[in-house]
Structure 1
């Protein structure tokens, strides 16, 4: 399959428009139509319904393959571009909101650094596309278990830290004075749904194997202080690393069951050099030998 044709198909399907895809890709509408016809001819299947524009069943299946394939191609181009370019000394670090803590900030160079705070699921793609030199992702995990990462590029992940978890809730909440909480006790509680700033509710459901944890309010921002303030105001519970202090009027009760931690990992696509190597060493070299590097899991 010609990757140019494949990229045109993905763009038409995403925009549901041949003319919109032509504008975005810089082609004529006739050229876009020819690309789609050539791809359909190559595969021997109709991929797009024309009115309205929508993927066919075969087109939906092709999209499942096409998006990661194109991302891997972009990753290969970005990787080779980095090899060919002379090191400029600049550093771009993409980090998830909960990964931006004092230790992370202390490891950054004083100048020529860009810190991009992104939703955790976008960080591997940013490294693959070459828009970030290093990434810091986070998530729920059993102690010493690596995070599961998407297979978007050859990524190497190294553990940065693991922290216990705590439930943030108003100081007047009936559970606020308990010494610890079990996740199973909170299935029917009202939760804050903050997939970027906090730990997504679908991860809690997966950890407990239940469809509970219903959201009371959704927060689409990335500011963790806003999230803790929402919990203090009684808009819902949130689960955060124990290193995050509660907002005034709230308390943080340790999670005692199941045995889960907030895990932070450093991502890279190759052997870092210059400022990237300095930052990587500062983040992943602990005072004790408790942090272990591992190849990234994909899935």
Structure 2
């Protein structure tokens, strides 16, 4: 174990101190943070004390260890700052890196486009890492993934509203119909279409990574409904649909992903949109992957516009 970086009153913006603060907040423990970071517990306590002294406010309650109001506000700033530093480091590393033969794709659970198989065949090696939407974007910024495939709900032909992490580039891949997943015995299961607001007061499952987030439904339907009766944390879409089938709540997903009853959404006009996210100019295998994904997607988008 080591004592950690030297500390002075000018180190408030030192990324080492911010990283320690974020780690304590995430783990809810000084000792667990010390173990993860490889510091002594006293070094972690000292770093947090310096931050608290500079700010003139407590950042954590001690029993239990939890961020105070000031700590939560600092966390809002610290996490994006640290991610931007990692993104800058990764961006500089790309300038001197040699193009690899393999491509790593970070993909949110619902972001597998119909063209993914064709794109995979165009490569010598492909690794797909399924993570949450925010983590997929962050992986590209950090340089731990070459590209990301992310999804979301949007008006037709409108871009997704993605987190602003670093100068990332996006391109549309495909747009697909959205539907409400219901149990097969639900009274609305036989409908040909429905207005989203008709279900504003229904029982919903909050599955921010495995379905369209409820917050996005509220924005699209301009209502404060869509309150969760159950929260589902994870990326397993099959597990989410099992909960829907059991009658524990509803969820909105691309129609093609639903294995229970599915009713298309007529109002508002919205689609499930998948975008490719990358950093800088694409070259080599990564460029071939992006081209293969996009080429097949154009034909799929044309078919969808014709169907509408």
Give the TM-score normalised by structure 2: 0.82
Query: Which of these residues, 106, 129, 152, is aligned with residue 165 of structure 2?
Result: 152
Once the two structures are superposed, residues 199-239 of structure 1 have per-residue CA deviations (whole angstroms, 9 ceiling, x without a partner) of 12222122223232244544434333443444344443322
Structure 2 residues without counterparts, runs of 5 or longer: 1-12, 303-308
Q: Give, in whole Å, the separation in 2 of the partners of 1:276 and 1:48.
A: 43
Q: Does 1:45 align with 2:45?
A: no
Q: Does 1:102 align with 2:129?
A: no
Deviates more, 1:209-218 or 1:276-285: 209-218
Q: Give, in whole Å, the separation in 1 of the partners of 2:111 and 2:178.
A: 14
Once the two structures are superposed, residues 245-293 of structure 1 have per-residue CA deviations (whole angstroms, 9 ceiling, x without a partner) of x43xx432221001111111110011122211111112223546979xx
Residue matched to 1:261: 271
Q: 8 Å contact 1:193–1:201 — kept in the other structure?
A: yes
Residues 265 and 3 from structure 1, CA distance in 2 versus in 1: closer, same or farther, beyond 3 angstroms? same
The alpha carbon displacement at 1:175 in A equals 1.8
Deviates more, 1:229-238 or 1:270-279: 229-238
Q: Give, in whole Å, the separation in 2 of the partners of 1:218 and 1:18.
A: 28
The alpha carbon displacement at 1:180 in A equals 1.3
The alpha carbon displacement at 1:198 in A equals 1.5
Q: 8 Å contact 1:168–1:240 — kept in the other structure?
A: yes
Once the two structures are superposed, residues 123-146 of structure 1 have per-residue CA deviations (whole angstroms, 9 ceiling, x without a partner) of 111111211110011111111211
Residues 61 and 283 from structure 1, CA distance in 2 versus in 1: closer, same or farther, beyond 3 angstroms? same
The alpha carbon displacement at 1:182 in A equals 0.4
The alpha carbon displacement at 1:88 in A equals 2.3
Residue matched to 1:6: 18
Structure 1 residues without counterparts, runs of 5 or longer: 292-299
Number of residue pairs the alignment of both structures matches: 287
Q: Give, in whole Å, the separation in 2 of the partners of 1:66 and 1:238.
A: 33
The alpha carbon displacement at 1:107 in A equals 1.2
Residues 134 and 206 from structure 1, CA distance in 2 versus in 1: closer, same or farther, beyond 3 angstroms? same
Q: Give, in whole Å, the separation in 1 of the partners of 2:262 and 2:70.
A: 49
Once the two structures are superposed, residues 151-210 of structure 1 have per-residue CA deviations (whole angstroms, 9 ceiling, x without a partner) of 222111111111221223234432223221001111122233332221122221222232
Give the TM-score normalised by structure 1: 0.84
Q: 8 Å contact 2:173–2:298 — kept in the other structure?
A: no
Residues 96 and 227 from structure 1, CA distance in 2 versus in 1: closer, same or farther, beyond 3 angstroms? same
Query: Which of these residues, 254, 261, 280, is aligned with residue 290 of structure 2?
Result: 280
Residue matched to 2:104: 92
Residue matched to 2:183: 170
Once the two structures are superposed, residues 80-124 of structure 1 have per-residue CA deviations (whole angstroms, 9 ceiling, x without a partner) of 223222222121101111112432232124542110111112111
Q: Give, in whole Å, the separation in 1 of the partners of 2:74 and 2:238.
A: 41
Q: 8 Å contact 2:113–2:173 — kept in the other structure?
A: no
Q: 8 Å contact 2:102–2:123 — kept in the other structure?
A: no
Q: Give, in whole Å, the separation in 2 of the partners of 1:200 and 1:144.
A: 20
Q: Give, in whole Å, the separation in 2 of the partners of 1:59 and 1:262.
A: 36
